[in-house]
């Protein structure tokens, strides 16, 4: 019994110590050192720690619940990185750390990266790169990666647009379902029913487009995205064919 009590007391003391330790936040932007443009999908993390974040389409990142202390931060994008030392985090405060990354690629290129990347680029860009590969192979890898960076920036802009549309559709769908529950049987209820079906189909169309753009931009794990895309396509077909009662419920 005494052993159990001592264990409980020790656990309580440990919990109080951990709870008392203050936490803060690290935030900032990651931009191209040459032109100041935001860099999306870059990584920021504290060396030797287990926390970090990825930059948004606007190049912004946020790391929350960081224990107070001094850290060394590293920002990474493709082959490039910048390190900032002695970053101080204080309890209840936000620490701003901006990074400017030189987007200069090395001339080494993986075969799988090359094959996948070329499929995502427009035909005229592929033709230009093919000519460059024959004429100046040393410059080819850099040109390919620069083309992918440009593609990713346009994709992140499109993703932001689609996510805004998806949010609006979900808000409208919730209102339609609320309206449907209070309406009695009649033409007005049937009209709302049809609008709900259309809204649900639109929601899954937008989700599918988002996944396709993410896959195209290699922003997340490719295999995971391919599985998600197939799942949404199957789910969309199921919804279109199903009865209204199963959609609402």
Say which residues have a Cβ less than 8 Å from residue 10's Cβ, sequence separation at least 6: none
CA 155, 157, 158: angle at the middle one, nearest 5?
A: 65
For 155-197, the DSSP string reads HHHHHHHHHHHHHHHHHHHHHHHHHHHHPPSSHHHHHHHHHHH
89 and 140 housed in the same domain: no
> Is there a domain that residue 34 lies in?
yes
Number of domains in the chain: 2
* pLDDT tens digit sequence for 43-68: 899 998 888 898 887 789 999 999 99
Q: How confident is the model at residue 246 (pLDDT cuts 50, 70, 90)?
A: low
**Per-residue b or e along 11-42, where b marks 16 or more CB atoms closer than 10 Å to that residue's CB:** eeeeeeeeeeeeebebbbbbbbeeeeebbbbb
* pLDDT tens digit sequence for 65-123: 999 999 999 998 876 789 999 999 999 999 999 999 876 555 556 666 667 667 777 88
Out of 80, 101, 122, a domain closes at 101
129 and 217 housed in the same domain: yes
d(CA 62, CA 56): 9
Out of 82, 101, 120, a domain closes at 101
Out of 38, 72, 101, a domain closes at 101
55 and 92 housed in the same domain: yes
Q: Are 92 and 22 in contact (CB under 8 A)?
A: yes
Q: How confident is the model at residue 41 (pLDDT cuts 50, 70, 90)?
A: confident
* pLDDT tens digit sequence for 140-180: 777 777 777 777 777 777 878 888 888 998 888 888 888 88
Total-model pTM: 0.44
> Is there a domain that residue 83 lies in?
yes
Helices (H) and strands (E) in the chain, counts: 7, 8
> Is there a domain that residue 12 lies in?
no
Tokens of 200: 């649900």
């Amino acid at each position: 019994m005494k052993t159990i009590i001592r264990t409980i007391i020790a656990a309580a003391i440990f919990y109080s110590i951990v709870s008392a330790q203050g936490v803060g936040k690290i935030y900032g932007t990651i931009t191209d050192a040459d032109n100041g443009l935001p860099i999306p999908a870059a990584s920021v993390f504290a060396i030797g720690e287990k926390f970090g974040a990825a930059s948004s389409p606007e190049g912004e990142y946020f790391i929350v619940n960081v224990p107070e202390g001094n850290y060394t931060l590293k920002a990474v994008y493709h082959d490039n990185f910048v390190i900032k030392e002695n970053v101080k985090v204080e309890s209840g405060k936000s620490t701003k750390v901006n990074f400017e990354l030189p987007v200069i690629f090395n001339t080494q290129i993986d075969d799988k990266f090359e094959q996948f990347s070329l499929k995502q680029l427009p035909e005229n860009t592929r033709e230009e790169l093919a000519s460059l590969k024959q004429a100046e192979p040393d410059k080819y890898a850099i040109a390919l990666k620069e083309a992918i960076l440009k593609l990713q920036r346009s994709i992140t802009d499109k993703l932001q647009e689609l996510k805004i549309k998806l949010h609006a559709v979900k808000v409208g769908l919730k209102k339609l379902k609320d309206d449907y529950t209070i309406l009695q049987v009649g033409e007005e209820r049937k009209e709302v029913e049809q609008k709900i079906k259309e809204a649900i189909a639109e929601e899954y169309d937008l989700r599918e487009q988002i996944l396709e753009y993410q896959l195209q931009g290699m922003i997340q794990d490719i295999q995971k995205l391919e599985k998600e895309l197939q799942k949404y396509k199957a789910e969309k077909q199921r919804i279109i064919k199903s009865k209204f009662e199963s959609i609402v419920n």
